[in-house]
Structure 1
Amino acid sequence: MQAPDIPTNEARRLQALRDLEVLDTPAEESFDRLTELAREIFGVPVALISLIDTQRQWFKSHPGVDACETGLDVSFCAHAVADDDTLVVTDLTDSRFADNPLVAGAPHIRFYAGHPLRPLDDMPVGTLCLLDYHPRTFSAHERRLLAGLAGQAEALLRQNKLSADLAHTAKRFETIFFTSATAKVRIDRNGRMIAINPFALNLLGYVESDVVGQNVAMLAPPDIHPHHDGYIQRYLDGHEPRVIGKGREVEAMHKDGHRVPVHLAINAIHDEHGQVEEFLGVLTDLRDIQAANRRIQKEQALLSVLHQGITDYQALMSGKKLWTFLMEALRELTDSDYALIGEVLPGDNGNALKVHAITDLAWSPSSRQLMEQLRSGNMMFTRADTLLGRVYAQGEVVMTDDLYQHPQRGGLPPGHPVLDNYLGVPIYSGSELIGMYAISNSRQTLDQSLLHWLEPFTATCALLINLYRQMAERDQVLQDLAHAHDQAQRANQAKSEFLSSMSHELRTPLNAILGFAQLLASGRREPLSDKQTRQVNQIEKSGQHLLSLINEVLDLAKIESGHMPLSLETITLAHVIEDVCQTLEPSAEASGIRLACTPPPAESQVCADYTRVKQVLFNLISNAIKYNSPNGSIQITAAPRDDALSVSVTDTGPGIAAHRRHELFEPFNRLDAENGPVEGTGIGLAITRELVERMGGIIDVDSAPGEGSTFWFTLPRSNEDAAARAHGEATRPASEFQQQTLIYVEDNPANQRLMEDIIDDVDGLVLRTAPSAEMGLELLRITPAALVMMDIHLPGMDGYQALAAIRRDPHLQALPVVALSASAMQRDINKALDAGFDAYLTKPLEIAKLMATLKRYVIT
């Protein structure tokens, strides 16, 4: 037989079936009468009320069939439920049902008609169905009759559900009423008690026979008794209720005559017609609550003090109100006239008490002066043989209700206020005595219970005294740190200014040296002889070496001061390795060194600064070239290492002894190579290590004398997809410039001459020079220019002031202005770019960078 479809709302349908609570319940006459009626109306041998469960169909009523359930594999009703529609099959031998065992075999069912039952939430849970052993027709009128009977079946199912719910509710109510830990009384409309639960009987001292059938007024105090029936009647007459439906605190009468404080709530219970059927009174015993409230009121005052002390301690300490706050809180908590609190300070001759706060006991000008000294913390108590001394010197609790008869009472001067009682309490932090407080003239009994109650206050005092001391120490440390920080800032500023000045002063003459050396070497109009070429190359080489010294010293200084900026991004490591190898390959060939590069896969990426990674590789490979053996080789490889990529530079040089490897990365330490033929500063590896570590990697060396060295470093991997990167700026073809003017503002004649010689070889570009910013601005007003290039440090108006003047002029403000300065510190570059310069070139001038800048800003 074809299996029925599973409804899309099957979970909700099954939940509706469960909610009926009818499955597997006994047969009921009301359901059987309905199915018998269906058999008679339609003249069929079988009529069923069938409910479709997950794996079976169960019959609530099944006249004509002995079985009470079947599997779904033979169920016709499951099809009607799945389709949620009336199902009529006039002859079950059709293709859908012919192989059903109940059709093919006994009892040979031939006809089926079923209408879905939807008693809850419009969910089909089963059918009212008809079965016959002969094929037959089923008219539209018969369909309507079947639907009507199905509606009656739905009503019976809903009624059955309601009856079950009512039974559950009654059972729950009975359980709640009689087993509740709250007193409950049922009262009829006339005020008589219908029932009372055990808790109420125990609360009021009665037995059930004493109260059931009696007027509930018997449980009220005599002053309420006459009015009790009136409250019920007023409610029944529709007046505004005074008690019913409004909970309030009242007193109930115990059988022995004493009053019991209770919370009384009376609720009216209505029948199905909305009429009041009875009342339910709920009494909650308030004796423990009222006792607790009295304790809570006392505790709240203490907690308020503790809370404010803990949460507002910073404000209290910063405003120097902590000690007064604690002293006043102590006085109010203990209802005392006088209180004091102080800090115990150890000394060579024993403990002393520094009083920080004390109630004013002044009665004369001299005593008032004494009080002022005590409150300001400028007076110490040091005598150990007094009532105070026993506390702060010996750590004892001192308690007396007869201060004047106490053997250790000190004499009080004439006019001193009367002191009746006294309590002195030491304040400990662990085993260390750190303070004490004392009260006098307390209106509470001084005993151990009071002392125990004050323990949280004492503990809070200990905490706050420790915080007070720590904050005092912290304030002193902060003052020291602030002073040290100011000194460091001044030293750092002086260092930065020195480096900036040194950079400017050294680069300015180098600009002319290297610039003219480059011009002489590349001069086309007056070529040099071979000897002159060697001499010029030596000049340029020495100048470049001096420039590298300056750059490395400045780089190391910037790293040490934390001013070396890094731009961490996802970079493809293979590109950087390839870039550096191509740059250094001619240098390796010139030195007779074979350079072999095995880069990582193209997709290998790291999170690093492209320029700084290139600098690291350049330093390591340059060292491998300089310190290699004749006809040696260098191998560059890369491989994964944990969550990083490792790059190794292996040379065939003399190697390094193990006991000297730690010196490699020390600044200015060249391991005695300073006496050899190879030039160097000894700080390249120090910079390299700092750069690698700041990018999150590590660097080290593996080497042995006579076996060469392998310098390796790691960089953290990046999981980002490789992005296409253009390492270099697209520039226009090196075609000739149109006839345009470049204005160069420079006060140094050598630098002016250098720029003239450079531009002299550029066709179509005219150079106009000005020795000051003022003259440059005048020149701009009379000469149309395509670009301005100016030094920063100029006589009179400096480069920043000149730039501001250009940007203020509406005719000049769009003109590109490029800074050209010997100040090469990053902060100098950033300052200039932030000020509005379009680009920044440094001296010594690199002609290639100058030409790229010209092509970027000058229209061709």
Structure 2
Amino acid sequence: MQAADLPDTETLRLAALHSLEVLDTPPDEAFEQLAELARDIFEVPIALVSLVDEHRQWFKSHLGLDACETHRDFSFCAHAVYQGKALVIEDTFKDLRFADNPLVLGDPHIRFYAGYPLRPVDDQIIGTLCIIDRAPRHFTEREHRLLERLAAQVEALFRQHKRETELLRTAERFEALFSKSATAKIRIGRDGLITAINPFALRLLGYEAEELIGRNIAVLTPPEIAAGHDRFIERYLAGGEPTVIGRGREVEALHKKGFRVPVHLAINAIHDTHDNVVEFLGVLTDLTSIYAANRRIVKEQGLLKVLHQGITDYQALMSGEGLWEFLMEALKELTDSDYALIGEVLPTDTTNALKIHAITDLSWSESSHQLMDRLRRGDMMLTNADTLLGRVFAHGEVVMTDDVYGHRSKGGFPHGHPRLDNYLGVPILSDDVVIGMFAIANSKQPLNQALIDWLQPFTDTCALLINLYRQMAEREQVAKALAAARDQAEEANQAKSEFLSSMSHELRTPLNAIIGFAQLLEKGRRDPLSEKQLRQVQQIEKSGQHLLGLINEILDLARIESGYLALSLEPISVEEVLDDACATLEANVEAAGMRLKRAPLAAKWQVLADYTRTKQVLLNLLSNAIKYNCARGVIEIGVVPEGDALKISVTDTGPGIARERQSELFEPFNRLDAEHGSIEGTGIGLAITRKLVLRMQGHIGVESAPGLGATFWFTLPQTEARLEHRASGDGSPRLSAGSRRKKVLYVEDNPANQRLMQEIIEELETVELEVVSSAELALEILRHARPDLIILDIDLPGMNGFQALQTLRQNPMLDGLRVLALSANATPQDIEKGRAAGFDEYLTKPLDIDKLTKVLEEHLHVVPGVTP
């Protein structure tokens, strides 16, 4: 016996063999089928796919041979590897190299051998496709060509195995990079919805996965930029210049609890092999793009390749019925059958039911035709578990018969029903659960297990599509539910706005009389009050102003929450706003017996903010420091730079706040049990303060401990932009006395408000007041006499203030007549509406007498207390 020599390229050859990663793998159906085909073509008992390793030859397929490997020393294939071409031994007894070979003298008694080298990788021979006979035979040139072609198919199978192994490893590696990464990553669909989010991102943003999957990515962004996200994606998909996608930038992500997390966001578009965008990947770190992929590896089958290509068409998936019809027709063609159906299994309380998606027309009469239409439309489902179909969809059995009419579950066939010669029903499983079935009848092919195995890729595809079909249906239901919830929320928000508007009006109207008359009594020069009466009146006004402040706070909070609060962000001087706030509360600090400490600023700092709202934030924090400080306490204001922002702090020497309760401070209406004490308040001041700071792109917090006082701080973005000079003073013009008494017509239906206005005007000796209770009466008066000014209530019986103003402006005889609105409707929207309607001024109730006096001075050119 002569062992084969080693080829010169043995090292490269072994490297190529091992790169396939196929040695010692389980049997593969494709290799087995090809070896079986070789046995049938050449009519031999043994066909092998042989791989020559360093010390052995191992068989990927060994049909007709019990052993799965032999030693290389007496390997026939090793000789073919060495000589690098086909090896044919027509009679081993006549070849000195093999006459005494153990495989010739013993099992399997080889007398004929033909092996063709396999070169699937880098043109290196890794083994052979060989056929073996136990008797000598002549090997023709035609047989040589056939063996060569079969060997080419084996090479293709090895290359396919290598690709699938590499793809699987790549998919596993990318999945690990996504789910186990120490970087926050989010997958976003073309529609802007979150499709996956890794644990790191969930921990970073405080969510559970089920709370985000299927929601728009905007849920993780601040409100002021959320609406723009979908437009970024739409513009990018339409071919527009990218502004976010593909470009990293510093942004803020919105945590589940409402606070903002600064991150570096990079959104990368993910493309398929055809350069189409399939999804987007958001990386909330400073890393470059990474694509977390989870690819499903589907075994390629030559006979089903066209089918697989068809079902990957996105439009076919969306059309639904067309897809199922396509699959049914493909099933008929693949199995050479006359009839077929594909259905989905739906569980019921008692058993499974079958919803048919596609079925060949079996109708033979008008009534049967109507029945088929109902089945196709899904108006009718099958539930009988003891029929040929029922055994499949209800019990998950494979039913196969060539004797339909003799089968125990045949049921009854109506007269005229087309004849069925054979039948095959196959359940479609997903995780061992029956989710559907397909069936064929009158197949021209034999019905056997080999056919079922051959159709397995088709069965798996149907399972995938049914699950996808269900997911799409569930997504549609979720979309409808979200739309309904959105509509309900919008209705609730509208109801809240209407309630707040009504509450504002109803509360401000009586407060107008309370505060107004208190101010008149306090300022009255004709009948001055005693010192005791003055204190009492001042208490009435103070209480009224306190109630008005509470109403304003509630409305402020509502406006902020609804997004109606408009801010004017501009460069403002920190020193100026601090001076303004401290001056406002200077008397309160002194009255409380406290000291206000404020160190000089280290620089002329500016911040980008709304001046009025910044002052409101400072007043809220300083007022709390006064309220909750200890007797003869100290309040200290500090300003220090912090990165690109300025940090402004207000520190008191009060009792302090326990750490475990500090998170409750910014909750609306939560006063940390102070409501049981003597200090007044609603508990929404800090809630408003926090929302205002966040709206101005800042942050707010507290540092405190029991017995050590508290420090409330907030930050605002620092800016070096040019600061516009803020005008000082009230801007009122210097006025001179007129030559006659000015006439004012006041239209108001509320007697208390009528009397209040009369009392106010009495203090203006140069003004004469006429009061009427309706707009209709006022218009009648205007036909005969023209006043110098009209004060018009909005909510009047009959014709309202807006309608009256419109009538006035249409009368050319009243051109240039000044008309002031006076109403308890005091929201910014109400004021803007009034100015847009054409009122010269829009005054709100409770009425500020000083402001009214200045307005009258401006429009009537009169001086209080001066008689012309």
Same fold by TM-score greater than 0.5? yes
Which string of whole-angstrom CA distances, capped at 9 and with x for unpartnered residues, describes residues 89-145 of structure 1?
A: xxxxxxxxxxxxxxxxxxxxxxxxxxxxxxxxxxxxxxxxxxxxxxxxxxxxxxxxx
Tell me the distance in 2 between the aligned counterparts of 1:754 and 1:791: 14
Tell me the distance in 2 between the aligned counterparts of 1:333 and 1:539: 93
Aligned counterpart, 2:27: none
1:653 and 1:708 in contact (8 A); partners too = yes
Alignment of 1:24-35 (within 5 A): none
Q: Residues 443, 567 of structure 1: CA spacing in aligned structure 2 closer, same or farther, 3 A cutoff?
A: farther
Pick aligned residue for 1:849 from 848, 851, 854: 851
Alignment of 1:391-470 (within 5 A): 391-393=392-394, 412-419=413-420, 424=425, 426-429=427-430, 432-440=433-441, 461-470=462-471
Tell me how far 1:511 sits from its aligned partner. Answer: 0.9
Aligned counterpart, 1:685: 686
Aligned counterpart, 1:637: 638
Aligned counterpart, 1:772: 774
Which string of whole-angstrom CA distances, capped at 9 and with x for unpartnered residues, describes residues 172-191 of structure 1?
A: xxxxxxxxxxxxxxxxxxxx
Tell me the distance in 1 between the aligned counterparts of 2:335 and 2:600: 82
Tell me the distance in 1 between the aligned counterparts of 2:584 and 2:745: 34
Tell me the distance in 2 between the aligned counterparts of 1:456 and 1:788: 86
Tell me the distance in 1 between the aligned counterparts of 2:555 and 2:594: 30
- Secondary structure of the residue aligned to 2:820 is strand
1:500 and 1:823 in contact (8 A); partners too = yes
Which string of whole-angstrom CA distances, capped at 9 and with x for unpartnered residues, describes residues 239-295 of structure 1?
A: xxxxxxxxxxxxxxxxxxxxxxxxxxxxxxxxxxxxxxxxxxxxxxxxxxxxxxxx9
- Secondary structure of the residue aligned to 1:357 is strand
Tell me the distance in 2 between the aligned counterparts of 1:402 and 1:814: 102
Tell me the distance in 2 between the aligned counterparts of 1:791 and 1:496: 22
AA partner of residue 809 (structure 2): R
Q: Residues 389, 737 of structure 1: CA spacing in aligned structure 2 closer, same or farther, 3 A cutoff?
A: farther
1:819 and 1:840 in contact (8 A); partners too = yes
- Secondary structure of the residue aligned to 1:592 is coil
**Greater CA drift, 734-743 or 534-543:** 734-743
State the structure with more CA Rg: 1
Aligned counterpart, 1:792: 794
Tell me the distance in 2 between the aligned counterparts of 1:488 and 1:336: 55
User: CA RMSD, aligned part only?
Assistant: 4.2
TM-score by structure 1 length? 0.56
Q: Residues 857, 539 of structure 1: CA spacing in aligned structure 2 closer, same or farther, 3 A cutoff?
A: same
Which string of whole-angstrom CA distances, capped at 9 and with x for unpartnered residues, describes residues 329-359 of structure 1?
A: 7668878653322112245666442223323
Q: Residues 443, 568 of structure 1: CA spacing in aligned structure 2 closer, same or farther, 3 A cutoff?
A: farther
Q: Residues 596, 465 of structure 1: CA spacing in aligned structure 2 closer, same or farther, 3 A cutoff?
A: same
AA partner of residue 374 (structure 1): L
Aligned counterpart, 1:581: 582
AA partner of residue 847 (structure 1): I
Q: Residues 802, 453 of structure 1: CA spacing in aligned structure 2 closer, same or farther, 3 A cutoff?
A: farther
**Greater CA drift, 713-722 or 449-458:** 449-458
1:738 and 1:764 in contact (8 A); partners too = no
Tell me the distance in 1 between the aligned counterparts of 2:341 and 2:815: 74
Tell me the distance in 1 between the aligned counterparts of 2:486 and 2:542: 43
Aligned counterpart, 1:496: 497
1:521 and 1:536 in contact (8 A); partners too = yes
Q: Residues 725, 432 of structure 1: CA spacing in aligned structure 2 closer, same or farther, 3 A cutoff?
A: farther
1:744 and 1:768 in contact (8 A); partners too = yes
Tell me the distance in 2 between the aligned counterparts of 1:581 and 1:409: 94
- Secondary structure of the residue aligned to 2:797 is coil
2:316 and 2:322 in contact (8 A); partners too = no
Alignment of 1:138-287 (within 5 A): none
Aligned counterpart, 2:760: 758
Q: Which 5+ residue runs of structure 1 have no aligned equivalent?
A: 1-294
AA partner of residue 315 (structure 2): T
Aligned counterpart, 1:311: 315
AA partner of residue 655 (structure 2): P
1:302 and 1:333 in contact (8 A); partners too = no
Which string of whole-angstrom CA distances, capped at 9 and with x for unpartnered residues, describes residues 473-507 of structure 1?
A: 34544555555555545544444333333322221
Pick aligned residue for 2:747 from 742, 745, 748: 745
Tell me the distance in 2 between the aligned counterparts of 1:728 and 1:433: 82
- Secondary structure of the residue aligned to 1:769 is strand
Tell me how far 1:822 sits from its aligned partner. Answer: 1.3
Tell me the distance in 2 between the aligned counterparts of 1:724 and 1:456: 77
Which string of whole-angstrom CA distances, capped at 9 and with x for unpartnered residues, describes residues 308-343 of structure 1?
A: xx23655x36xx777567656766887865332211
Q: Residues 738, 364 of structure 1: CA spacing in aligned structure 2 closer, same or farther, 3 A cutoff?
A: farther
AA partner of residue 776 (structure 2): E
AA partner of residue 622 (structure 2): I
Tell me the distance in 2 between the aligned counterparts of 1:370 and 1:483: 36
TM-score by structure 2 length? 0.56
Q: Which 5+ residue runs of structure 2 have no aligned equivalent?
A: 1-300, 863-868
Tell me how far 1:405 sits from its aligned partner. Answer: 9.0
Aligned counterpart, 1:354: 355
Tell me how far 1:471 sits from its aligned partner. Answer: 4.2
Aligned counterpart, 1:364: 365
Aligned counterpart, 1:819: 821
1:745 and 1:770 in contact (8 A); partners too = yes
Tell me how far 1:792 sits from its aligned partner. Answer: 1.2
Tell me how far 1:795 sits from its aligned partner. Answer: 1.2
Tell me how far 1:362 sits from its aligned partner. Answer: 1.3
Tell me the distance in 2 between the aligned counterparts of 1:814 and 1:331: 87
Q: Residues 427, 666 of structure 1: CA spacing in aligned structure 2 closer, same or farther, 3 A cutoff?
A: same
Aligned counterpart, 1:609: 610
1:574 and 1:602 in contact (8 A); partners too = no
Q: Residues 443, 826 of structure 1: CA spacing in aligned structure 2 closer, same or farther, 3 A cutoff?
A: farther
Tell me the distance in 2 between the aligned counterparts of 1:625 and 1:844: 27
Tell me the distance in 1 between the aligned counterparts of 2:836 and 2:306: 60
AA partner of residue 549 (structure 1): L
- Secondary structure of the residue aligned to 1:788 is strand
1:373 and 1:379 in contact (8 A); partners too = yes
Aligned counterpart, 1:549: 550
**Greater CA drift, 341-350 or 768-777:** 341-350
Aligned counterpart, 2:292: none
Tell me the distance in 2 between the aligned counterparts of 1:445 and 1:759: 108
Aligned counterpart, 1:534: 535
Which string of whole-angstrom CA distances, capped at 9 and with x for unpartnered residues, describes residues 649-686 of structure 1?
A: 11223333445444433444444544544433333223
- Secondary structure of the residue aligned to 1:518 is helix
1:324 and 1:357 in contact (8 A); partners too = yes
2:659 is equivalent to residue 665 of structure 1: no
Tell me the distance in 2 between the aligned counterparts of 1:600 and 1:450: 88
- Secondary structure of the residue aligned to 2:625 is helix
Tell me how far 1:797 sits from its aligned partner. Answer: 0.7
AA partner of residue 800 (structure 2): D
Q: Residues 383, 528 of structure 1: CA spacing in aligned structure 2 closer, same or farther, 3 A cutoff?
A: closer
Q: Residues 372, 530 of structure 1: CA spacing in aligned structure 2 closer, same or farther, 3 A cutoff?
A: same
Aligned counterpart, 1:189: none
- Secondary structure of the residue aligned to 1:512 is helix
2:716 is equivalent to residue 715 of structure 1: yes
1:773 and 1:802 in contact (8 A); partners too = yes
- Secondary structure of the residue aligned to 2:418 is coil
Aligned counterpart, 1:109: none
- Secondary structure of the residue aligned to 2:749 is coil
Q: Residues 435, 627 of structure 1: CA spacing in aligned structure 2 closer, same or farther, 3 A cutoff?
A: same
Tell me the distance in 2 between the aligned counterparts of 1:420 and 1:695: 79
1:598 and 1:636 in contact (8 A); partners too = yes
Which string of whole-angstrom CA distances, capped at 9 and with x for unpartnered residues, describes residues 203-257 of structure 1?
A: xxxxxxxxxxxxxxxxxxxxxxxxxxxxxxxxxxxxxxxxxxxxxxxxxxxxxxx
Tell me the distance in 1 between the aligned counterparts of 2:460 and 2:836: 57
Tell me how far 1:845 sits from its aligned partner. Answer: 1.0
AA partner of residue 665 (structure 1): F
- Secondary structure of the residue aligned to 1:517 is helix
Aligned counterpart, 1:247: none
1:591 and 1:625 in contact (8 A); partners too = yes
AA partner of residue 713 (structure 1): F
Tell me how far 1:852 sits from its aligned partner. Answer: 4.7
Which string of whole-angstrom CA distances, capped at 9 and with x for unpartnered residues, describes residues 808-847 of structure 1?
A: 3344465454321112234433443454444432111112
- Secondary structure of the residue aligned to 2:656 is coil
Tell me how far 1:713 sits from its aligned partner. Answer: 2.0
Identity of aligned pairs, percent?
A: 62
1:599 and 1:638 in contact (8 A); partners too = no
